[in-house]
Each structure stands twice: as C-alpha cells, then as structure tokens.
Amino acid sequence: MKFPGLALLLAAVFMIGLDSARVSAQKFQDFTLVLESPKTKYVELQPIPLVITLKNDTRAPLVGHVALEFGASFMHLYIDDPDGPHEVPVSMFTLDVVASPRVFQPGEQIKRTTGLHFRLNKTFPNPGTYRLHLQLRSLDGTETVSSKPMELEIVKPDGLDAQALQYIRDHSEPAYFFTGVRAVRNPEQLQVLEKFVALYGDSSYADDASFALGEVQSAMGDYQKARATFEKLLKKTNYAFAAEVSDSLKSVEERLRALSH
C-alpha cells in the first residue's frame, strides 16, 4: 500500500532540513555592508548623510538583523588613521534597541540613511581627506562584518558659508549646534539657532539647521512653528533627510489634531 501524503510530508521535512542546514552553514560575516554618502565633499562642520546598506550577496539565506542605528551596541563607525582605526562618537545617547534575528534571502537588502552631525569639529578637526568604515556586530556579538573604506573630503568654507561657520563658533558650541540639544535647554541658544536660519538660509548649512530648529520646536511643544518649519524644508529639493522631515511633520500634525479635540 502506498502513502503518497506521507511521502510528500517526509520530502517537505527533508527540504526544510536542507534549508536550515544551508542557513546555519552561513556566517554573519558573509553579509555585505556598504557605506555611502550622496557627496564626497562637505564644508567644515556640515552634517554628513550616511547611507548604510546591509545585503546578502550570497546564494544562500543568511541570518542577520536590522539594528543599523547608531547609538545601539551593534553599529560602529571608524576613521582610518595611519596608526589604525579609531571609533567615531556619533550619538549623544545610548539607544535601548531590541533586535531579533532575521533571515535575508539571496539578493535581499535593507538600507538606512542617517546623519553624522555630533562633534563634527572633533571628528574632522581640519580640512582634508578622511577614510571612514563601518562595523556591524551580530546579535550575540561573536561576529562582525565591515564595510569598505569611504573617502570624504572636508573643505574650508568661503563666502557665506565661512560667515555661517564663524557665527556658529562665536555664538554656540559647534559640537552640539546641529543636534539642537542646547537650544532645547537654553532660550538664548534657541534664539541663536533661529537667527542662524534667518541669516544664513542660502548657506550649505541651512537645511540641516532648519531641521534642527523644527525638531527643537516640536520637542518644546511649539507645534505650529514646527509644522511651518518642516513644511518649508520639504519644499527644498534633494535634501538627504527629506523622508525624516516628512515623518517629523506627520508626527507634529498628529499632535496638533490631538490637541484640537
């Protein structure tokens, strides 16, 4: 007597076992980690967009995770010096990120855009060419994958950009200016940020300063001003953090709707 149903079930279990074996045979370091930026040249103290891609370029499934945020314990940024790499502090806060394993099928990838805007005066103290690379750790911390080095050129500003940079140095703490943290806590620093946006709206720093101002206004509960700031910023073309601005605008509008009821 034949049992076709049982035969199919056993075949399915066998195939699942093969797939599991292929997944377990692969290593976290078999992932490809890519670090990119929309431009290769930025003026001093200008926030730098970083595009991070984690992808499976192998022919078998790989087990990884999607915790690509800076400030968590998984993603780290390094500058390559002649005496070896040193880690770049990229966040003021330690994030409590709960990450779960995720299977990446062959060819699958995830991409994140994040900003480097904290302690830029310390990270890039002088104009010149810098080489950066990323390192991503596995969930258990036993394996890592690193990106190829990416070169960035930091140039000395001139004209309006030079005036804007001098204004920041004269009236604020450069390491924190584009984080907005000091402006939330200090009314005088909020006025400095507002005046900067008004005076240097045509500089290379303008969009990032406006984004910081909108975030500060939102954090302080001034949602009407925050909405106006974000709406104006969204009209700009080719801003690297347009998606983040859009998310912030949606959040502000939700809060305004809640307050109106």
Query: Which of 252, 251, 197 has the alpha carbon at shortest distance from 224?
Result: 252
pLDDT at position 93:
66
Give yes or no: residues 237 and 252 share one domain.
yes
Give yes or no: residues 145 and 34 share one domain.
yes
Q: Where are the alpha helices (DSSP H) in the chain?
A: 4-25, 120-123, 159-171, 181-185, 187-199, 206-219, 223-234, 242-260
Is 134:75 a contact under the CB 8 Å cutoff?
A: yes
Q: Is the pTM of this model over 0.95?
A: no
Give yes or no: residues 38 and 130 share one domain.
yes
Give yes or no: residues 143 and 171 share one domain.
no
**Residue 221's CATH number:** 1.25.40
**Residue 98's CATH number:** 2.60.40.3880
- Residue with tokens 């790989």, as numbered in its chain: 62
With a CB cutoff of 8 Å and minimum separation 6, the contacts of 122 are: 89, 175
Give yes or no: residues 138 and 178 share one domain.
no
**Each residue of 47-66: pLDDT tens digit?**
999 999 999 999 999 999 99
Containing 85, the helix (H) or strand (E) segment is strand 84-87
Is 178 contained in some domain? yes
Distance CA 48, CA 184 (A): 22
* Domain extent at residue 56: 27-155
CA–chain centroid gap for 101, Å, is: 21
Query: Which of 193, 198, 260, 189 has the alpha carbon at shortest distance from 223?
Result: 260
Choosing from 139, 155, 171, the residue where a domain stops is 155
Q: Where are the alpha helices (DSSP H) in 89-186?
A: 120-123, 159-171, 181-185
pLDDT at position 82:
80
Give yes or no: residues 149 and 58 share one domain.
yes
Choosing from 155, 185, 209, the residue where a domain stops is 155
Is 20 contained in some domain? no
Is 109 contained in some domain? yes
C-alpha triplet 45, 50, 52: angle, nearest 5°: 160
Q: Which structure tokens are listed for 119?
A: 């302690």
Which residues in the chain land under pLDDT 70?
1-25, 92-97
Choosing from 121, 136, 155, the residue where a domain stops is 155
Is 93 contained in some domain? yes
Give yes or no: residues 143 and 164 share one domain.
no
pLDDT at position 237:
83
CB atoms within 10 A of CB 2: 6
Is 2 contained in some domain? no
- Residue with tokens 């204004």, as numbered in its chain: 167
Give yes or no: residues 131 and 115 share one domain.
yes
Is 80:132 a contact under the CB 8 Å cutoff?
A: yes
Give yes or no: residues 187 and 256 share one domain.
yes
Is 150:85 a contact under the CB 8 Å cutoff?
A: no
Indicate the number of domains in the chain: 2
CB atoms within 10 A of CB 137: 18
Give yes or no: residues 147 and 229 share one domain.
no
Give yes or no: residues 139 and 71 share one domain.
yes
Give yes or no: residues 36 and 123 share one domain.
yes
